[in-house]
Amino acid sequence: MIQAVLFDLGDTLWHFPQMPPIEVIRGETVHRISDLLRTWGVEPAGEIFFLGRDIRAAIEKATDDAYWGDLTSPDYTALAGRVAAEKGLSITGAQAEELWRTWNLGGVFLGRQLYPGVAETLRWLKERGYRIGSVTNRGLGGEPFREELRHHGVLHIFEVLSISCEVGYLKPHPRIFEHALEALGVDPADTVMVGDSLRADVAGARALGMTAVWKRNHVSARGDPERDMATSEDGDASQPLMAPDFVVEDLWELTSLPLFAGA
């Protein structure tokens, strides 16, 4: 009997339909980091001017290596401090944390929006007694992340937020899912995981015995790169490693699945 529903966030509950041009994003990053450096008495000149660019490159590499490696979440604060040190800028741990938070522009600036029907679906589930949580791969947690959920009007709906940078592991590692299950006090067999990634969300959830719902986002399975990731070792795309139990295109379709027929 289903007791809890866990959600991925990016491309499941929210997306970026109107991302600012890359020049605007880069300019804002430079502006914010330059202002921070000047409060430390450092002029953003020479190689230090490119601090934001090089933090991005280091983050992308570390995250990619972890996702296809042992799934241990990178220490992004330490990573920002290391990049600064490579440019001859010696900073404290507290300053590295401030640098990392400053580098993160936030979803509001980037034009993030909830998909249509998300708030209504979450309320529908909550009103019928289902426990709601999120299991998400993110590099920034804490109060800034919670403020973003509050901005979108959904923070109060979640009983648990299992965030990779706080738990220490990226999906599909079992530990990040277990963190949410333990916080809610529910068994995997009584839990549904909803997400857009066949590897991170579907395979990760099913490996623990959860029901997995793939939010396909109107993308054809043919030619879908994540469908290609979830194939057998011999590359046979007709035999996915972990097929989802259900597929939806829009979140409101959850309300008509047989999983919630007794709601």
Which CATH number characterizes residue 234's domain? 3.40.50.1000
pTM for the model stands at 0.89
Identify whether residues 127 and 154 lie together within a single domain: yes
Under DSSP, is residue 246 helix (H, G, I), strand (E, B) or coil?
strand
* Residue pointed to by tokens 């580098």: 103
Q: How far apart are CA 83 and CA 86, in angstroms?
A: 5
CA angle 185, 190, 196 (to 5 degrees): 100
Sequential DSSP letters for 202-226: IIHHHHTT-EEEEE-TT--STT-HH
Q: What is the count of structural domains for the chain?
A: 2
The predicted pLDDT at position 217 comes to 87
- Measured distance CA(188)–CA(155) in Å, rounded: 23
Contacting residues for 205 by C-beta, under 8 A, at least 6 apart: 6, 172, 177, 188, 191, 193, 195, 211, 212
Same domain, 86 and 116: no
Residues 62 and 181 in one domain: no
Distance CA 4, CA 192 (A): 6
Last residue in a domain, options 70, 85, 103: 103
Q: Quick one: 167 and 68 in the same domain?
A: no
Assess whether 92 and 195 both reside in one domain.
no
72: tokens are: 């241990």
Domain that holds residue 176: 4-16+112-260
In the structure encoding, which two tokens stand for residue 125, read together? 């589930």
8 and 31 inside one domain: no
Q: Give yes or no: residues 11 and 139 share one domain.
A: yes
Give the separation between CA 76 and CA 62, rounded to whole angstroms.
Answer: 9
Could you give the angle at the alpha carbon of 136 between the alpha carbons of 21 and 82, nearest 5°?
65
**Is 191 in the same domain as 119?**
yes
Residues 6+ apart with CB under 8 A from 253: none
User: Are the CB atoms for 20 and 101 separated by under 8 Å?
Assistant: no
Q: What is the pLDDT of residue 234?
A: 38
Of 182, 229, 235, nearest to 202 (Cα)?
A: 229
Q: Same domain for 75 and 200? A: no
Q: How far is CA 98 from CA 29, 77, 81, 84, 116, in A?
A: 14, 8, 10, 12, 34
- Sign for the CA dihedral angle at 219, 223, 225, 228 comes to positive
Which one of 66, 81, 103 terminates a domain? 103
Instruction: Write out residues in the chain with pLDDT < 50, as ranges.
Output: 220-239
Task: Write the pLDDT tens digit of every residue in 182-235.
Answer: 999 999 999 999 999 999 999 999 999 999 999 998 764 444 444 434 433 334
Please tell me whether residues 217 and 136 are part of one structural domain: yes
Instruction: Check whether residue 214 and residue 119 sit in a common domain.
Output: yes
Contact 176, 170 (CB under 8 A): yes
Which of 85, 103, 121 marks a domain boundary? 103
User: Do 237 and 136 share a structural domain?
Assistant: yes
CB atoms within 10 A of CB 176: 24
d(CA 204, CA 124): 26
CA neighbours closer than 13 Å in the CB half-sphere of residue 58:
21
- Residue 226 has a pLDDT of 43
C-alpha span between 154 and 138 (Å, rounded): 17
